[in-house]
Structure 1
């Protein structure tokens, strides 16, 4: 019940190749890499301020309208 031997890993590799095929594995790894890049870009975009956000206007005390209430 220790670690796997070389024969175990070879059998697993053969099964993976039979299931996915030789051409599918590089395509799958490319998709994984694109997903990681997209995730990293999304994380950095979240930290950066968005240029399309509305900006608020700061009012100065002399610009405040009086309502006439006492």
Structure 2
């Protein structure tokens, strides 16, 4: 079950050419290259926008002595 012989690869090539045609394969490769380029551009844009924005780290403080009143408690007190 090692590698395929040259005849196997030739048959695969003929089948691919019959399915997609001669002009379709370069078109698909060009579209794939455009997609990769736009993906890389998008990733670099995200990195640049992340560096430009200051990070505002806010946390919620919780103190054990405070409790949040429930809706039932709010209506009974008010």
TM-score in terms of structure 1 length: 0.68
For this pair of structures, how many residues does the alignment match?
A: 51
Gaps spanning 5+ residues in structure 2: where?
54-78
CA distance in 2, matches of 1:31, 1:49: 27
Higher helix share: 2
Detail structure 1 runs of 4+ shifted over 2 Å in the superposition: none
TM-score in terms of structure 2 length: 0.62
CA distance in 2, matches of 1:5, 1:39: 37
Gaps spanning 5+ residues in structure 1: where?
54-70
CA distance in 1, matches of 2:16, 2:48: 41
Q: C-alpha root-mean-square deviation of aligned residues, in Å?
A: 1.4
